[in-house]
Structure 1
Amino acid sequence: MSHLTYTEAVVVGLLQGVAELFPVSSLGHSVLLPALVGGRWARDLNVSAPESPYLAFIVGLHVATAIALLAFFWRDWVRIIGGFLTSVRDRRIETPDQRLAWLIIFATIPVGITGLLVEHTFRTVLGKPVPAAIFLALNGGVLYAGERLRRRESRAADRAVAASVGSTATDLALASDRRLAGLSLARGTGIGAAQILALLPGISRSGVTMVAGLLRGLSHEDAARFSFLLATPVILAAGVLKIPDLTGPLGDGIHGQVLVGSVLSGVGAYVSVRFLTRYFETRTLTPFAVYCVVAGLGSLIWLGVR
């Protein structure tokens, strides 16, 4: 049986950590990179194979990414969890932290249920290079359309956020969380449901969630922040549910590679979310849209001529 090399673990670990949070699809890149490199990489890193050690490896990377998100947003999660507990205790939803806690819960239900039902089918049927390249190009189109079609309310929110740049990081985070808590339950759930599209290899979880937020009037900063908060429990749950793959036969012989890849994935994710939360204070999804279209169409051409 093929096993992962340390070189593969290093490259894919860093790629996962960065691509999971950048709006460019980590799954799409995890499918395309081995196919574009070819040779042993294509054999070892086949995400659609039912009995591949690559699946166990991906589990470790997802857990590491979720831990990085928890580490970066730990103050937010302390407030959110505290808000949930006090809401249950008092049987009321009054404070911004309480509202945000329930908003995140309801917004993650659609993707949680859908993932349990169709994730395996989507991965095995569509987790191949050509579909991944097509969806990556489509992801770029979605990002660009989101920028073009976003509401006037979203543009005004961007201007307000830009005017507050210079405040402390803590003040900016508190202000963003208060704005997010003002979302209606229907709007928040609709934004969270957009994550379902990310089950398709090549469609970015953070990208489609941000687009859904922009179309509902959020600023880029708030849309990015909400997408990261929503992604944390989803990514963590996906990893934890598949831990048996890592501790079972699929993980035999690759525990060292999983450790190395996970550390790099966690570091990459932490640096990425730190960069992106500042980037989206003043900038847009357009550069990522262009990259996805070029990378997707370029991959299709390369795969077609090889």
Structure 2
Amino acid sequence: MRNSFAMLTYFQAAVIGAVQGVTELFPISSLGHSVLVAAWLGGSWQKLVSPGESGTGTPYLAFVVALHVATALALIGYYWRTWCSIVAGLVTMVRTRRLDTVAQRMALLIVIATLPVAILGPLLEHPLHELFAAPICASIFLVLNGIVLIIGEGLRRRNEPTLAEYGRRFARQQTRTTLLTLEAPPRRQSDRQLAALDIRDAVGIGFVQAGALVTGFSRAGLTMVGGLWRGLENDHAAKFAFLLATPAILGAGLLELPELFGPETHGIRGPILFGAIISGLSSWLAVRFLDRYFQTRTLLPFATYCITAGLLSIAHFS
């Protein structure tokens, strides 16, 4: 099969892979940027992500599958110790039917929070992309994404705990995880705050994450805002967002994996592989940067970028 996408070059694959890897994890919408960057560049770039190429059985879908799998593998690689602990906790939880450790609670929370997108994704992802694939739609939703990030920052400031409140939270975390110790852990780099989320928190964050099925909304951004809404701090909300994104991105990629080996990709598998490598590398660098960034900084710069880029795009495409 020969079509416009068969002209994908290594340079285009590298650019799209880099954009995908960064924007998938930065709270600025990878899907929205895949539409808007191509639309701004125009010409052969626009044909790569045109609505006619976004359905099943197309080379573009195969390319997106490869990029998503690469991003998921980068996330697994970066958090491999955490994932080993979570998987071990899940196995132990299933075997003993108990929730005695942070890892076991984390495993349960991630499973529950993944259910909304696992159910809604296969039903709504392609129809919503077809419906909102136009650049003007992506531009509008990118502005809305920025507004949601500002709301998330407001929630963070409202919920920012005092030292007394942090002590109460830690006592509650100890009770929920049965990890009774004599001294509190450092505020940063501890998964106890994540494990202190309850089932309702996980369900709520999971449904918030599903909002990223709409072109222009960020999976990482919405999930972070969901975590801030449930009382997490920025660094913990970011880590939970990245952990929660991993099964969603990897699952979506694996379901469509046969597309990579179909006749539609004949002649462009080299660029697809190259783009996936670039996407995985840029994803690893992005999560490494953001993991440190959110320890001391906020969502506001990303909100400013989304609103500015969205308004400029609205003016350009309207």
When the two structures are superposed, what TM-score results if normalisation uses the length of structure 1? 0.91
C-alpha distance after superposition, 1:157-200 (max 9, x if no partner):
8x97xxxxxxxxxx979953221011111112211221111001
Q: CA deviation at 1:129?
A: 1.0
Q: Does 1:60 align with 2:66?
A: yes
C-alpha distance after superposition, 1:259-296 (max 9, x if no partner):
11000000000000000010000100000000000111
Which of 191, 194, 198 is residue 177 of structure 1 equivalent to?
Answer: 191
Which of 222, 233, 238 is residue 224 of structure 1 equivalent to?
Answer: 238
Which of 289, 293, 300 is residue 275 of structure 1 equivalent to?
Answer: 289
Uncovered stretches (5+) of structure 2, i.e. residues with no partner: 167-184
Matches within 5 A, 1:1-306: 1-2=3-4, 3=6, 4-46=8-50, 49=53, 50=55, 52-150=58-156, 152-154=158-160, 156=162, 175-304=189-318
Aligned partners of 2:59 and 2:265 also within 8 Å:
yes
Cα distance in 1 between the residues matched to 2:315 and 2:61: 27
Equivalent pairs, count: 293
C-alpha distance after superposition, 1:81-111 (max 9, x if no partner):
0001011111211111111101100000011
Q: Cα–Cα, structure 1 residues 13 and 95, in superposed 2: closer, same or farther, change >3 Å? A: same
Runs of 4+ residues deviating >4 angstroms: 171-175
Q: Cα–Cα, structure 1 residues 99 and 255, in superposed 2: closer, same or farther, change >3 Å? A: same
Which residue identity lines up with residue 145 of structure 1 in the other structure?
I
Which residue identity lines up with residue 59 of structure 1 in the other structure?
V
When the two structures are superposed, what TM-score results if normalisation uses the length of structure 2? 0.88
Aligned partners of 1:147 and 1:284 also within 8 Å:
yes
SS of equivalent residue, structure 2 residue 197: coil
Aligned partners of 1:24 and 1:139 also within 8 Å:
yes
Larger radius of gyration: 2
Q: Cα–Cα, structure 1 residues 265 and 172, in superposed 2: closer, same or farther, change >3 Å? A: farther
Q: CA deviation at 1:44?
A: 2.4
Which residue identity lines up with residue 277 of structure 2 in the other structure?
V
Cα distance in 2 between the residues matched to 1:267 and 1:280: 20
C-alpha distance after superposition, 1:142-163 (max 9, x if no partner):
0011112336333548x97xxx
Cα distance in 2 between the residues matched to 1:174 and 1:89: 31
Uncovered stretches (5+) of structure 1, i.e. residues with no partner: 161-170
Aligned partners of 2:235 and 2:295 also within 8 Å:
yes
SS of equivalent residue, structure 1 residue 102: helix
SS of equivalent residue, structure 1 residue 20: helix
C-alpha distance after superposition, 1:16-56 (max 9, x if no partner):
00000000000000011111111111112325533542211
Aligned partners of 2:147 and 2:303 also within 8 Å:
yes
Identity %: 51
Aligned partners of 1:151 and 1:215 also within 8 Å:
no
